[in-house]
Structure 1
Amino acid sequence: MSVYKGGRSTFPPHRRVILSLGLLNAVLLIAAVVIGIYCAKAKDLQIPYSVLHNSSDIIRANLEAQAALKRERTSHLQLKLLVKHRKTVTDGLQRQMESLQTEKTNLKINRTTLEESCGRCLPGWILLESSCYFFSHPVSHSKKNWADSRAYCISQGGDLLVINNSEEQQRMSDNFPKVSSSSMWWQNGLWIGLTDVAMEGTWVWVNNVTEFKTMYWRPGQPNRSGPQSGNCAAFYFYSGSRGTWYNGNCHDHQLRWICEMEPN
């Protein structure tokens, strides 16, 4: 019970101790509650060790996958370079094989020609029926004008081709070399021994035989105007044995040629 002295109350000492202890217990209780709440939140925020361990495994696996992908890309690039190199080598070998095959074919043709001619024609000439013929080759022989072409044939013992009949016309068509060296059709023809130099419009062979047949001239030939015109005849096969003759400029036009001579 409180005792008032001089207008103020006084507590016995033991009560003051009890009151102090009560207040201290209250403070401690509040502190314990606050600490408990803080620890609970901290526990909720704490990442379990197993999660951290799994995350580390994932990161390591991701790095390993990236390294493996890089190695695969490097290997793929090396493989592409190897394939490209092998393709280059293969293409080179293919070209060599084609070249060798062409050479083999030419050798067979030359051997067959030699066997068939039995030495009756010069090397490079072919025996057809009762005459030896020479078709100038675009690789081995440069083109010439009509006069130089005839000079070559004469130097070999023959002359420019003279077509005597339809059978010989057919033989020339059958054996005409299918080689094109120019986009202009008339520049791919071969000189033959037929001109109208002495009298324009009268076509005469180099053996002085006048040619009267017109069925072997190409349509519109002989031509008297334009770049493809002149007084010397050439042979160009494209389809059928007829319509193969045309005329060209004897001096200015450079063509290949056909020689003819009697066999030995």
Structure 2
Amino acid sequence: MEINENSGCNSDGGLNTLIYQEDLEDNEQYLSHPNSNQNRQQDNKLTDNHLTIDDTEHIENEMNKLQDTYKTAIETMKGAKKQLDSEMSRQTLTNWELQHQTKRQDKNVAQIDQLTQSIASMKSRLPMINDGCRHCPPGWFSINSVCYFFAFSNFAGSRTWQKAREYCQMHGGDLVVIDSKDKENSTINVLLTNNANSASTDGFWIGLRYFPEEESWKWLDGTALVEGYWNDGEPNDSSGDREPCAAVYPRENFFEAWSSVGCGLKKKLICEKAPTSIN
């Protein structure tokens, strides 16, 4: 009986052992199930955290690259601005120098004009020096190595063309022959300069007259007129009973300074002659 009871107890104990093991397995499964979910969640979080860190590092790398590029661009821009400022400074200096040189040039041109006028004025008063000293008589002008007498004052008076020529011949010359533009210009300049303070617009006889039979104007030596400096409407070859002769007037436009006048009228005169030598 005791043996049977022990056996029974053993049987119950084996069954209980099996039930206990099953419960343990169930419990382990139960316990292991939430743990597995939690582990997976933690793994997912770790995975998420790992991706975020990678992204952050990538962004930081890109930001560093951008910052380096920005710094390089800033340095390049600073260099370009510095070079531009330097070029602008040089350009400003160049502009200042150009203005300075322009002022100097304008001043030099003015001085040259003044000197040219002074030289021309002195030349008209200096005697000719060639093969000894030559000079013009008192009251005569020396222009381009020729002596000229302008009858400005009333001392010489006004005369007819023929009487004016005789007066010039009496003083070793003749009425002036104006056969070039330069000579015309010089003559008018003297007339304008010496009549500046006078309201006189009287004409001055020159050595030119009209020959009706030949229908031409000729100089004293018989040379035909090539270029004249007549006023508008001149020459008036038709003077009625008066034979026309030429007179020059103090007009600023020396290209229109001549007029045809009756030779019998009285005008002032201009004589010319060669300078005399001083031994």
Q: TM-score, normalised by structure 1?
A: 0.51
Secondary structure at the counterpart of residue 177 of structure 1: helix
Judge which range, 29-38 or 115-124, deviates more: 115-124
The alpha carbon displacement at 1:54 in A equals 3.2
The alpha carbon displacement at 1:92 in A equals 0.9
1:42 corresponds to: 52
* Contact 1:133–1:261, Cα closer than 8 Å, also in 2: yes
2:177 corresponds to: 168
% same residue = 12
The alpha carbon displacement at 1:82 in A equals 1.7
Counterpart residue type for residue 178 of structure 2: Q
131 and 173 in structure 1: CA distance in 2 versus 1, 3 angstrom threshold: same
Work out whether 1:104 is the aligned partner of 2:115.
Answer: yes
20 and 96 in structure 1: CA distance in 2 versus 1, 3 angstrom threshold: same
Distance 1:47 1:100 in 2: 80
130 and 22 in structure 1: CA distance in 2 versus 1, 3 angstrom threshold: closer
* Contact 1:126–1:133, Cα closer than 8 Å, also in 2: no
Find 2:99's aligned residue among 88, 102, 107.
88
The alpha carbon displacement at 1:108 in A equals 3.8
1:55 corresponds to: 66
Distance 1:245 1:53 in 2: 95
Structure showing greater Rg: 2
Q: List alignment gaps of at least 5 residues for structure 1.
A: 1-9, 135-149, 179-190, 195-204, 224-231, 248-257
Distance 1:193 1:174 in 2: 19
Counterpart residue type for residue 132 of structure 1: Y
Counterpart residue type for residue 177 of structure 2: E
Count of residues paired in the alignment:
193
Counterpart residue type for residue 234 of structure 2: Q
Distance 2:154 2:50 in 1: 119
12 and 93 in structure 1: CA distance in 2 versus 1, 3 angstrom threshold: same
* Contact 2:203–2:248, Cα closer than 8 Å, also in 1: yes
* Contact 2:127–2:136, Cα closer than 8 Å, also in 1: no
Work out whether 1:131 is the aligned partner of 2:147.
Answer: yes
Going by fraction, where is helix more abundant, 1 or 2? 2
Q: List alignment gaps of at least 5 residues for structure 2.
A: 1-19, 166-173, 187-200, 218-224, 237-246, 261-267
| Structure 1 segments (4+ residues) deviating >4 Å | 10-13, 48-51, 121-124, 155-160, 162-167, 235-238, 261-264
Distance 2:24 2:118 in 1: 138
Distance 1:56 1:124 in 2: 94
2:41 corresponds to: 31
Secondary structure at the counterpart of residue 176 of structure 1: helix
Distance 1:91 1:76 in 2: 22
